[in-house]
Amino acid sequence: MGQPSETASPQLQRRLGVTDAVLIGLGSMIGAGIFAALAPAARAAGSGLLAGLAVAAVVAYCNATSSARLAARYPASGGTYVYGRERLGEFWGYLAGWAFVIGKTASCAAMALTVGSYVWPAHAHAVAVAAVVALTAVNYAGIQKSAWLTRAVVAVVLAVLAAVAVASLTSSASDTSRLDIGSDAGVTGVLQAAGLLFFAFAGYARIATLGEEVRDPARTIPRAIPLALALTLVVYAAVAVAVLTVLGPHGVAASDAPLSEAVRAAGADWLAPVVRVGAAVAALGSLLALILGVSRTTLAMARDRHLPHALANVHPRFQVPHRAELLVGAVVAILAATTDLREAIGFSSFGVLVYYAVANASAWTLTRDENRPPRIVPAVGLAGSLLLAFTLPAASVAWGTAVLALGIAAYAIRRAVTARRKP
């Protein structure tokens, strides 16, 4: 099925263990979820917010399990781009890679803009561009330095979120009657919320796309992905419950910064600036891991000449795909200077869900000897990913479909040109 990557290409060094891989996943998921998706999800679902979180968690679990089994069998940079190519054929691998690179490039811009909006709201775009430049330089210096920085980011963010949860749940303003799950939520609203919250869970993809840089991938990846997902779900549920008991679903929906509003409502005004710093640090952690993942998928596609082959070059000293990282950083910087945060999140969600649909279809083809998951896992993951993708807001679906169609057209043109050149 499909052609393998070029064996002559320089290989990346395996330096990451289970802890590093889990922390990279946590840095992506926690940063994106709590600070970027909670309020939009509440606006979509109202009191169905927690139900949406549960739906997103089920789909994410299925996707994580499918991704883990595939990543253990194909421990190379590229994630579902590689899995789709090897299990379903070249086109499906290309489609997954295209959806990932485009969707996650938009997500990089969203995280950069989140940093800007918390650090210096009056100059959010300028701060966003500076953040992209700085973290591209960190990634360029080597994967181990990135892992150590992510470790520090996760520690800070978890401490801030723990403080928010404790302050909210122990406040006299806390009222568990506000956790009236789903009383005013329709099915469409819950599914839209789940799609937006899935955007936050999708950080475990960073672990799979780093498969070529993980030590003992057959053991490390299947352990790291579910562990990162489980820890993130615990954090999400605790913080969501804490904030809802103070603000209620409508209060969360009406706020651009619900965690800051929650600590103020709980009488802990002193904690609000800490939350702002935590939000900026969380977004930086997500941006760091996102740039890592997008550049590695770009590397894999360049090796197979779906993107310019020059992007497959690995730096002889730092052992990173430096040209891919510089290109991704430049594109993200341009988007961060020109785009809107909400548009970036919606577009990214659509692309990521399509990416995981291909991952689940690929996992379905695994045999027992290849350690396939129970059949229901990729089936639910595939159906859930497509359902959430196409219940996102109409504008996100329209733009996402248009960009996917553009990528398909480019693939078809390339195939036609290649066929004509053959004798």
Band of pLDDT at residue 217, cut at 50, 70 and 90: confident
Name 290's Cβ contacts closer than 8 Å, sequence gap at least 6: 28, 104, 107, 108, 111, 206
Closest CA to 322 of 344, 345, 302: 302
pLDDT one-digit tens code per residue, 56-92: 989 998 998 898 888 878 877 667 888 999 999 999 9
Q: Which domain holds residue 319?
A: 18-416
**Residue 1 domain flag:** no
- 3-state class (DSSP) for residue 59: helix
Residue range 208-232: mean pLDDT, rounded:
77
Model confidence pTM above 0.85: no
For the cut 80, the answer to whether the pLDDT of residue 389 exceeds it is yes
The total domain count for the chain is 1
**Residue 13 domain flag:** no
**Residue 9 domain flag:** no
**Residue 4 domain flag:** no
**Residue 120 domain flag:** yes
Residue range 397-421: mean pLDDT, rounded:
90
Cross-strand bridge partners of residue 16: 214
Report the percent of the chain where pLDDT is more than 70: 88
* Contact yes or no for 395/98 (Cβ under 8 A): no
**Residue 263 domain flag:** yes
For the cut 70, the answer to whether the pLDDT of residue 179 exceeds it is no
The three-point CA angle 358-5-301 to 5° equals 55
For the cut 70, the answer to whether the pLDDT of residue 142 exceeds it is no
The predicted pLDDT at position 260 comes to: 85
The predicted pLDDT at position 119 comes to: 81
pLDDT one-digit tens code per residue, 168-178: 998 877 766 66
Residue range 139-146: mean pLDDT, rounded:
65
Choose the weakest-confidence range: 24-28, 182-186, 285-289, 306-310.
182-186
Question: Which has more pLDDT, 127 or 72?
Answer: 127
Residue range 237-258: mean pLDDT, rounded:
87
Residue range 213-229: mean pLDDT, rounded:
79
- 3-state class (DSSP) for residue 77: coil
Choose the weakest-confidence range: 101-105, 154-158, 318-322, 403-407.
318-322
Task: Produce one character per residue of 87-120: b if its CB has 16 or more CB atoms within 10 Å, e if not.
Answer: bbebebbbbbbbbbbbbbbbbbbbbbbbbbbbbe
Question: Which has more pLDDT, 189 or 151?
Answer: 189
For the cut 90, the answer to whether the pLDDT of residue 384 exceeds it is yes
**Burial of residue 289, with CB atoms counted within 10 A of its CB: 0-12 exposed, 13-18 middle, 19 or more buried:** buried
For the cut 90, the answer to whether the pLDDT of residue 383 exceeds it is yes
**Residue 23 domain flag:** yes
Looking up residue 160, the CATH number of its domain turns out to be 1.20.1740.10
Most confidently modeled of 275-279, 291-295, 319-323?
275-279
Alpha helices (runs of H) in 312-393, residue ranges in sequence order? 322-338, 341-364, 376-389
**Residue 2 domain flag:** no
From CA 415, how far away is CA 311, in angstroms rounded? 20
